[in-house]
Amino acid sequence: MDTVIETHDLSKRYGNQTAVDRLNLQVARGEIFGFLGPNGAGKTTTFLMLLGLSEPTAGSARVCGFDPTREALKVKRVVGYLPENVGFYDDMTASDNLRFVARLNGIRDGALTGKINEALDRVGLLAEGRKRVGAYSRGMRQRLGIAEVLMKDPRVVFLDEPTLGLDPDGTQRMLEMVRGLSRERGITVFFSSHQLDQVQRISDRVGIMLQGNLVGIGPMDDLAKRKLGVDQAQYTLEEIYMKYFQEGVPAA
């Protein structure tokens, strides 16, 4: 197995509070990994640590063979990150926003326009590329975020809640796009979501975080067998998740 993301006892503490507690996981090349858990379980913190935006308190991580803490720049060169509620410069047009990010990534001016148009075309925004981002709907912003990630030809993408607040049609398109990333271009996708039916549709493997701990990880079929005792296609991810949740959070 060609491992792209791996962590060893990765931990993050804020004062007394443990946001992520000794996280161990591995994600293989080209895989779609669904990262689940309630709000505040430590998913975003994990994203930030894997990107080198936040320093782990203990433990280590490797992304494409680089240490995000020490070699942050190398990691950022090969990783695309779509934050939850991605932000853009609202008074600039979509293509100007992309142009700025492309330049930050060191893409030469000669290749810029072609790259931008290709990325916009891929997410179906080519016709709206000259519009100011301030006039974009939520779905369009989210797609523009994907375009921005695609433009740098990443080997891994981190998507934090990519479908949050999208309408059913938008969600559908987003999932298709995410699946396309992995299947057509061999990009590893590491994404978090609360919409479990969608995660179930596109993920190869899932990990479940509860209060900073990774309580379950593996292909969904395995988890179903282990937790619910049922065979293939007899379960929904929601059932697995709730089972974990009820075991893991006594107060709930």
Contact status: 88 vs other proteins (CB under 8 A): yes
Tokens of 133: 């981002």
Contact status: 242 vs other proteins (CB under 8 A): no
Q: How far is the CB of 42 from other proteins (least distance, A)?
A: 13
Place of tokens 């946001």: 19
User: Dihedral angle at the C-alpha atoms of 141, 145, 146, 151, nearest 10 degrees?
Assistant: 130
Q: Contacts with other proteins in 196-225 (CB under 8 A)?
A: none
Q: What angle do CA 86, 150, 172 make, to 5 degrees?
A: 70
Q: How far is the CB of 111 from other proteins (least distance, A)?
A: 15
Site string for other proteins, 104-143 (x = CB under 8 A): xxx-------------------------------------
Calpha distance 11→57 (Å, rounded): 6
Size of the site for other proteins (CB under 8 A): 27
Contact status: 51 vs other proteins (CB under 8 A): yes
Given 129, 160, 193, 198, the residue binding other proteins (CB under 8 A): 160
Do residues 170 and 142 touch, judged by C-beta distance below 8 A? Answer: yes
Nearer to other proteins among residue 90 and residue 121 (C-beta): 90
Place of tokens 């921005």: 148
Letter string b/e over residues 87-118, b meaning 16 or more CB atoms within 10 A of that residue's CB = ebeeeebbbbbbbebbeebebeeeebeebbee
Q: How far is the CB of 225 from other proteins (least distance, A)?
A: 35
Tell me which H or E stretch contains 66.
none
Contact status: 85 vs other proteins (CB under 8 A): yes
**CA contacts within 13 A on the Cβ side of 171:** 16
Q: Which residues contact 153 (CB under 8 A, 6 or more apart)?
A: none
Nearer to other proteins among residue 1 and residue 73 (C-beta): 73
Given 76, 143, 173, 205, the residue binding other proteins (CB under 8 A): 76
Q: Which stretch binds other proteins (CB under 8 A): 50-58, 121-129, 203-211, 243-251?
A: 50-58
Q: Which residues contact 13 (CB under 8 A, 6 or more apart)?
A: 19, 57
Nearer to other proteins among residue 102 and residue 237 (C-beta): 102
Given 84, 153, 221, 238, the residue binding other proteins (CB under 8 A): 84
Amino acid at 197: D
Contact status: 190 vs other proteins (CB under 8 A): no
Contact status: 89 vs other proteins (CB under 8 A): yes
Residue 10 pairs in a beta bridge with 23
- Residue ranges binding other proteins (CB under 8 A): 44, 48, 51, 53-54, 73-74, 76-77, 79, 81, 83-90, 100-101, 103-106, 148, 160
